[in-house]
Amino acid sequence: MKRLTYFTLTALGFVFALPAHAATLYDRATGALGKTINEAYGGGSKVNVDGNTFLGSLIIIINQLITFIGIIFLLLLIYAGYLWMTARGNDEEVSKAKKITRETVIGLIIILLARLLTEFILSQIGEAVK
């Protein structure tokens, strides 16, 4: 019964808190959209175009992918920790959890090194284009 009460109070808190945030989100979305439309039709400020817009965009996309991969690695580490904690002395489960942890950390190191190398190469290409 206590869980149901906590769940109900939490759900009601979310229901009453959402309309307060909805107005600000709507204003942000329509404000940015209005500004974009205004600039597209010649109003507002001028749009500055750099030679590095493609490379900058590529670096932003790579950073977003790395963030997503980081979340996946975090979930894998949580899963491995859960397996290890619930192994109850079972050596197979412990070794499976250790293997997942080891492979996750190695994968994360490889991905981060690849990101650093990619950003270095893209920045060097950007310097060569200037």
Residue-wise pLDDT for 23-73, tens only, equals: 555 555 556 666 666 666 665 555 555 555 677 777 788 888 888 888 999
What interhelical angle do 91-129 and 53-85 show, nearest 10?
170
pLDDT of residue 103: 94
Query: What percentage of the chain exceeds 70 in pLDDT?
Result: 57
Contact 115, 66 (CB under 8 A): yes
| CB crowding 9-46: b at 16 or more within 10 Å, else e | eeeeeeeeeeeeeeeeeeeeeeeeeeeeeeeeeeeeee
pLDDT at 4 over 60: no
Instruction: Kindly give, in sequence order, each residue whose CB lies less than 8 Å from that of residue 25, ignoring residues fewer than 6 positions away.
Output: none
pLDDT of residue 45: 57
Taking alpha carbons only, the member of 49, 122, 107, 36 closest to residue 77 is 107
pLDDT band at 126 (very low <50, low <70, confident <90, very high): confident
CA 96 to chain centre: 27
